[in-house]
């Protein structure tokens, strides 16, 4: 733990850690969070010295986080330039995980999303420019795509418009083309058109755009990782911000059946948090080999497609709980299918996932979740 105090009253580091065998000092923003802590663990395992900058958002953390004692922890906010300047001293690369996550409750959440994610990233990147830190990995998301990618009967790629309420009311869940023909879902690649459909998604795309602009104007090297459906130990419990895997897991823990929207056939790519962490380490290595002014986006998915219904069944089976209930209900704005091609990450970064769906769901069914705030 560090001891100086920044403009916001946050503690800031006095002395960067270093080790002769280390690839360097890595700053992980949001490193006390679900994904950030998995990144920290693997970075330490790979010889990085690690500093964490995390504000410990009170709506995320019910209590103090458990951090590896080797981590230099800075309790502060990425929006606080003085704290970020101090946290960047001696740093070789930044892994930016800090964000307000999830879909939020309603539009009243919009200012907080924009401030935390867009303004926070801008402050961080400006500080990196001042400090001469030129390597960045930024956590992005599949939500930048909106709806997934589809093929028409004629074999052409099509991105359908949001589904019509009349269709959803009639139980017609799969997107159709203008002639009413069913579209066939396919894997989405990074060059697909981007179509963020909610405030959170807009802020994730803005984080990518800011990173591109930073790389261009400062000679930086940035990788944006578009995570698909992340799950694994330490995932936050039942909150409006939690992912569907956590909601099902929390229902099972209460002895209730997971309630699955639509017909349960929504296709997703469920990717384990340890695989997300190893993708971050691969992307960090990549930033160390690129020319100045480099930006590249990479999907991070397991490469296997499963439905939300299959995920609910696997969790219920492994937890020994009640079978899922498929409700036929829907939420306006939900995407029907979105699944990743992670070929770019595999081919260009030599990354591959290590946790299979079966193995990951078996572990997740009984793994500890992060304590609910106020719970």
Ligand X SMILES: NC(=O)c1ccc[n+]([C@@H]2O[C@H](COP(=O)([O-])OP(=O)(O)OC[C@H]3O[C@@H](n4cnc5c(N)ncnc54)[C@H](O)[C@@H]3O)[C@@H](O)[C@H]2O)c1
The answer to whether 77 contacts ligand X (rule: CB under 6 A) is yes
Find how far residue 309's CA is from the centre of its chain.
22
The answer to whether 148 contacts ligand X (rule: CB under 6 A) is no
The answer to whether 243 contacts ligand X (rule: CB under 6 A) is yes
Residues 54, 85, 269, 275: which binds ligand X (CB under 6 A)?
Answer: 54
The answer to whether 190 contacts ligand X (rule: CB under 6 A) is no
Report the C-alpha gap between 98 and 114 in whole angstroms: 13
The answer to whether 34 contacts ligand X (rule: CB under 6 A) is yes
The answer to whether 79 contacts ligand X (rule: CB under 6 A) is yes
Select 35 or 315, whichever has its Cβ closest to ligand X.
35
Residue closest to ligand X (Cβ):
33
Least distance to ligand X from the beta carbon of 342, Å?
Answer: 14
The answer to whether 32 contacts ligand X (rule: CB under 6 A) is yes
Could you tell me if 79 and 115 are in contact, meaning their C-beta atoms sit under 8 angstroms apart?
Answer: yes
Residue 369 DSSP one-character state: P
Could you tell me if 14 and 2 are in contact, meaning their C-beta atoms sit under 8 angstroms apart?
Answer: yes
The answer to whether 353 contacts ligand X (rule: CB under 6 A) is no
Residues 11, 49, 97, 280: which binds ligand X (CB under 6 A)?
Answer: 97
Residues 6, 13, 36, 360: which binds ligand X (CB under 6 A)?
Answer: 36
CB-neighbour burial class of residue 208 (10 A; exposed 0-12, middle 13-18, buried 19+): buried
User: Segment contacting ligand X (CB under 6 A): 8-16, 53-61, 280-288, 346-354?
Assistant: 53-61
Least distance to ligand X from the beta carbon of 116, Å?
Answer: 5
Least distance to ligand X from the beta carbon of 36, Å?
Answer: 5
The answer to whether 349 contacts ligand X (rule: CB under 6 A) is no
Could you tell me if 188 and 148 are in contact, meaning their C-beta atoms sit under 8 angstroms apart?
Answer: yes
Q: Which two tokens stand for residue 266?
A: 């929504």
Residue 119 DSSP one-character state: I
The answer to whether 252 contacts ligand X (rule: CB under 6 A) is no
Report the C-alpha gap between 27 and 31 in whole angstroms: 8
The answer to whether 230 contacts ligand X (rule: CB under 6 A) is yes
Distance (Å) of CA 46 to CA 16, 79, 189, 372: 18, 29, 29, 31
Phi, psi of 319 (to 5 degrees): -85, -5
Select 140 or 218, whichever has its Cβ closest to ligand X.
140
Q: Positive or negative CA dihedral for 311, 317, 320, 324?
A: positive
The answer to whether 249 contacts ligand X (rule: CB under 6 A) is no
Report the C-alpha gap between 99 and 72 in whole angstroms: 20
Could you tell me if 109 and 57 are in contact, meaning their C-beta atoms sit under 8 angstroms apart?
Answer: no
List the catalytic residues. 200
**Positions that interact with ligand X (CB under 6 A):** 29-30, 32-36, 53-57, 60-61, 77-79, 97-101, 116, 120, 139, 141, 204, 227, 230, 236, 243
């Amino acid at each position: 733990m560090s001891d100086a105090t920044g403009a916001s009253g946050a503690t800031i580091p006095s002395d960067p850690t270093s080790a002769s065998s280390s690839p360097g000092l890595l700053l992980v923003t949001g490193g006390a969070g679900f994904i950030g802590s998995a990144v920290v663990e693997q970075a330490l395992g790979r010889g990085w010295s690690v500093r964490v900058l995390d504000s410990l958002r009170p709506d995320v953390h019910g209590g103090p986080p458990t951090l590896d004692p080797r981590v230099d922890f800075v309790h502060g906010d990425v929006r606080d330039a003085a704290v970020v300047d101090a946290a960047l001293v001696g740093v070789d690369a930044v892994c930016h995980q800090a964000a307000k996550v999830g879909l939020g409750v309603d539009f009243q959440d919009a200012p907080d999303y924009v401030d935390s994610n867009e303004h926070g990233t801008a402050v961080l990147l400006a500080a990196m420019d001042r400090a001469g830190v030129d390597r960045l990995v930024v956590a992005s998301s599949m939500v930048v795509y909106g709806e997934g990618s589809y093929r028409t009967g004629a074999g052409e790629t099509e991105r359908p418009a949001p589904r019509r309420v009349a269709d959803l009311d009639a139980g017609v869940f799969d997107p159709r083309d203008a002639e009413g023909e069913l579209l066939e879902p396919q894997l989405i690649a990074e060059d697909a058109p981007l179509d963020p459909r909610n405030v959170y998604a807009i802020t994730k795309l803005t984080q990518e755009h800011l990173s591109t602009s930073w790389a261009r104007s400062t000679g930086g090297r940035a990788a944006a990782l578009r995570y698909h459906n992340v799950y694994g130990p330490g995932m936050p419990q039942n909150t409006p911000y939690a992912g569907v895997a956590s909601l099902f897991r929390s229902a099972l823990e209460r002895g209730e059946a997971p309630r699955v929207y639509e017909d349960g056939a929504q296709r997703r790519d469920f990717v384990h948090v340890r695989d997300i962490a190893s993708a971050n380490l691969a992307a960090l290595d990549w930033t160390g080999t690129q020319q100045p002014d480099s930006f590249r986006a990479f999907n991070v998915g397991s490469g296997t497609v499963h439905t939300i219904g299959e995920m609910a069944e696997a969790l219920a089976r492994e937890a020994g709980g009640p079978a899922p209930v498929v409700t036929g209900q829907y939420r306006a704005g939900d995407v029907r299918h979105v699944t990743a091609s992670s070929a770019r990450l595999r081919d260009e970064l030599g990354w591959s996932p290590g946790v299979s769906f079966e193995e990951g769901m078996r572990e997740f069914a009984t793994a500890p979740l992060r304590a609910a705030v106020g719970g």
